[in-house]
Structure formats: C-alpha cells, structure tokens
A and B are shown apart, each in its own frame.
Chain A
Amino acid sequence: GAGVSQSPSNKVTEKGKDVELRCDPISGHTALYWYRQSLGQGLEFLIYFQGNSAPDKSGLPSDRFSAERTGGSVSTLTIQRTQQEDSAVYLCASSWFGGAADTQYFGPGTRLTVL
C-alpha cells in the first residue's frame, strides 16, 4: 500500500512569495500532522487534524502559516509572504486515530528554500 506522499519534494522560492505544500495521507488515516524540521533541530509541531474536529493550530509560528484538510484526506500547508527563516523541511504524518499510542507514518518531506 502507498505511504504518505508529499509534493513537491523540493521548493525554491523568493522571499515574499506564497507557497503551497501538499500532503496525501495513508488512505483511511483520520489524523494528519504537519511538522517543520530545521537543520540541526528537532521536529517542530505545526498543526494537527483529527477527523471533522477543529484542527489544533497551536504550533503555527505566525499568521502567515495556514493549513486545510479537504474531505478528510489531502492537506495543504500554505505559507504566505515567505521569509528566509521559513527555510526548512516540512514533514507530514498521518495515523489511524490520532491517539497518543498511535504510530505516525511520515512522508518524505518537502524541502523549502527561501532565497
């Protein structure tokens, strides 16, 4: 079966531009997470979707960041007016139910470079 997929794999953009990153979770997984991984840093939680519940946006670093999950499946992370400090690998993960004991399956990530 297919795992979590993300696109694009690499994105280079200019400062001030908007970018959209896409995540396709494993079919049937109700929970979806976005993380950011900066060089030499641990993964930083951004946002969490669980079924039809309101998303947990507590990790979003600023109002330039937003995410949607349409139809309970595909998710898009949007970064508006990108800054150089937004450069990082953005990882998406999904799990069956989103419980603390659930294993999260990660996608390969999107490497974002803001020039």
Chain B
Amino acid sequence: KNQVEQSPQSLIILEGKNCTLQCNYTVSPFSNLRWYKQDTGRGPVSLTIMTFSENTKSNGRYTATLDADTKQSSLHITASQLSDSASYICVVSRYGNKLVFGAGTILRVKS
C-alpha cells in the first residue's frame, strides 16, 4: 500500500533552536519527494523537491535529505523562527503524477 508516514505528529521548540522532521514512505514507483509548509488557514507551499538521485536539497534555513534505499526523508530547520510555526507535509509522487500525502508534522516555535 502506498503510504507516507511522518513523525513526530507535533513538536514544540524554542526560537533559535534546530529541529528535524521525519518522513518514511512506501510509495512505488517513486518519482520525487517534496516538503510543503502549510500555515494555518492557508494552502501548502512547496519548500523542496528531490528526485531519486538527489540526497539533499536546501532552501534557506530548510534542508531536506533523501535516502531512496531506506525510503526515508528528513527536513531540518536551522535557527528556527516564530514564523516557522506551521504544518510540514511530506508528499511523495508516483509516476503517473499520483501524489501521496503524509498527515503532516505540526511545528510550534515559541519565544
């Protein structure tokens, strides 16, 4: 079954600290993996996209990693800011443009 599982479900960190969100998937055939950020009451916004051959991709303070062998990805946020408080969604694309979404990790950054 094509699934994307994310952990933790929710996370609270202090402003300025780093954190890492996890994503495990069983989607096949794999095309690419994306991380989206979704602010409360808004649609998701793409942060990174990685294909099979890419191990890491950065977007500012966000760094995503991908291990296609173990089917795991992580999103590392450096020097967190209050504006990073959001839901982070891992999305795996199958060939044929079928997207499988994780349930998301809710991150709260507090001062």
Question: Contacts A48-B97, A100-B95; is A42 near B43 (CB within 8 Å)?
Answer: no
- A-B contacts counted at CB < 8 A amount to 54
Contacts of A39-79 to chain B: CB distance below 8 A: 40-45, 48
Q: Cβ of B86: which chain A residues have Cβ within 8 Å of it?
A: none
Whether the Cβ atoms of B45 and A40 lie closer than 8 Å is: no
Quick check: A98 and B43 within 8 Å, CB to CB? Answer: no
- Inter-subunit contact B101/A43 (CB<8 Å): yes
A25 lies within 8 A of chain B by Cβ: no
Interface residues of A, count at CB 8 A: 22
Task: Count residues of chain B with CB under 8 A from any CB of chain A.
Answer: 26
When distances are taken between beta carbons in the complex, the residues of chain A under 8 Å from B104 are 42
> Which residues of B approach A to under 8 Å, CB–CB?
4, 31-32, 34, 41-46, 49, 51, 89, 91, 93-104
Which residue numbers of A lie inside 8 Å of B, CB to CB? 4, 35, 40-45, 48, 91, 93, 98-101, 103-109
